[in-house]
Each structure stands twice: as structure tokens, then as C-alpha cells.
Amino acid sequence: MNNRKYFIAFISILMLLAGCMQFRTSPKGIKEEFAENEAKPEIKDIEVNGKKIRYVEVADGRHSKPTILFIHGAPGSSDNFFQFMKDQTLASKFDMISVDRPGYGYSNFGESVTSIEEQALILEPILKEYRSTPTIVVGHSYGGPVAVKAAVLYPDWVQGIMLLAPAIDPDHEKKFAIAWFGKTKPFRWLTPKSWKVATDEKYSHVEELKKMLPDWGKIEVPVTYIQGDKDRLVPYDNLAFAEKMIAPSCLKVIGIPGEDHFLPWSQEKLVTGEIFVLEKRIEASRHQTLSKDS
């Protein structure tokens, strides 16, 4: 009898979580989030390869400033980077875009796309729209490899990469017991949609990262890599992988003692400062290239 009560309680909790843990902010919530902000967001929906993709944009519409494209982890959504998009110092210098990756937020919510390449290809219309100015792609966690793949696929449109605790090393990809619920019947249908998508990505991630191994030698733009050595979700060994795979002339590494995985929130000031540093590195690199060509 007690076991039955515990089981019913467990199922009830799962159902509650399924309704609450969506990891996204409604359009009304976005407007409220930016209510006191000088730079107002615009919510945009596009269709790419038959998939609805939503992104939030803070831009002046003139395409005269460098662009930052933020790519969130798993689970997550565009709201993971609103603290940066509300930063007036950044907004005065950059146009900023934060995208809901496929399956998250309002981009075909709950429908998994496990291919890293397909996720990067979905970014093409956004990158193309802003191609007249330098673009930095910023990827956190699972968004890291998507950012790298986008830079490889669109080298003329992406001029810089920032990786925040990225899951990039196929030999150090962790799986967690909680992911089992998202894969196992009957629990899968009780699992929040965002967790189902994250689980599907997790179970395919090693093979997807292996497919990317030839891509690393193609990176020729400035890269900033930031990670904490107490990250329990993405092993710190990923930092060594980046140092091995990315040319030293392109890579800047920042290891943070005692820091965990959630850098966009806990290290907002550092990340903001490093975005400006990365933009200067991009400018220096472009001038160097122009000098060689002249």
C-alpha cells in the first residue's frame, strides 16, 4: 500500500514538472523582462527546412554594428542570454540575437533535432541577414559545438567564436542517471518536453561530436574559451581538448578556479568584458588579413 502511494506521488511530481519545467519565457514575459530597458526586443519567427525557429533580437535595424548570436545549452532557450541583451553597454556596440534551438523555447517545442550540423544550418538565414557586419557566435554548453559548426559552415559570416563551458570532447561526454527517465517508457511521456529533447541530444552527442572532429582544423577565426574547473556537467577536460584541436594563434583560454557550469549567470561581467576583447581581436585579425592582401 505504501509503495503504491509513493508511486502515485512520484508520478504526480513528474506530471507537475512536465507542466512547469519548460525553460522558456512567453512573449508577454519577454516584454516584461525588457520593460525598463532602453533597447527593446523584437520576437521573430522564421521557417527553415520546414521547422519553425524563433529568436529574440535587440538591434537598431540598420545593420551597422557588429552582431552577437547567442546559442543556449540543453535544456534552455533564448532567455538564457537576456541579461546580456539588456546590458546597455553591449547594446550600444552590438546588435544581439538569441535563438531558441530546435525543440526548445518556441522553436518546434518538444521536437528533437539531434544533428549538430542540422542545428547549425538552421542558423543560416539569421547569419545571412547580418552578413554585412562581423558576427560573433557565443555558445554555452551544448550550444558550443553548434557555434563551432556554424563558424565552419559559414566562414564568411562568422568572424569570432566564444565558447562557455562547451561540451565538445567526445571522449569526455557525461551521461546522467536522470536522462534515463527521458528515454524509458512509461516515464518518457511524463518527462517535460524540454528534458526529452535534452535527453535525445545527450544520447546522440558522442557520435555527433565524432563527426565534428575534422572541423576543428578549419577554424581560422579568433576563439575565446571560458570554463570553471568545478564544472560537474561538462568535464574540465574539454578545455584541454580545445587547446589540442584549435590553433594556438586563434585560441584564448580562460580557466576559472572554483567556478561551475553556469557561466552566463555567475560570470556575466567577465563574459561581457571578454566579448569586447574578442571584438578587438577580430578587428586586429581583419586588419592583418587586409594588409597581407594589399
**Would you state the pLDDT for residue 23?**
75
**Would you state the pLDDT for residue 173?**
87
Query: Is the Cβ–Cβ distance between 65 and 97 less than 8 Å?
Result: no
- The β-bridge relationship of strands 160-164 and 135-140 is parallel
- Alpha-carbon gap, residue 227 to 196, rounded angstroms: 26
Grade residue 184 by pLDDT with cuts at 50, 70 and 90. Answer: low
pLDDT for residue 73 is more than 50? yes
Distances (CA, A) of 164 to 139, 144, 185, 229, 273: 6, 7, 34, 12, 14
pLDDT for residue 12 is more than 90? no
pLDDT for residue 290 is more than 90? no
**Would you state the pLDDT for residue 50?**
92
* pTM for this predicted structure: 0.88
The one-letter code for the residue type at 169 is D
pLDDT for residue 121 is more than 60? yes
**Would you state the pLDDT for residue 131?**
94
CATH of the domain at 202: 3.40.50.1820
Write out pLDDT tens, residues 230-255: 999 999 999 999 999 999 999 999 99
- Alpha-carbon gap, residue 287 to 161, rounded angstroms: 18
pLDDT for residue 20 is more than 80? no
| Other Cβ atoms within 10 Å of 266 Cβ, number | 14
Rounded to a whole number, what is the largest CA-CA distance in the chain?
A: 82
Mean pLDDT of the residues in the chain: 89
Compute and round to an integer the Cα radius of gyration of the chain.
Answer: 19
- Owning domain of residue 149: 2-293
- Between 77-91, 176-190, 250-264, the lowest mean confidence (pLDDT) is in 176-190
**Would you state the pLDDT for residue 62?**
86
Write out pLDDT tens, residues 204-235: 999 999 999 999 999 999 999 999 999 999 99
Number of domains in the chain: 1
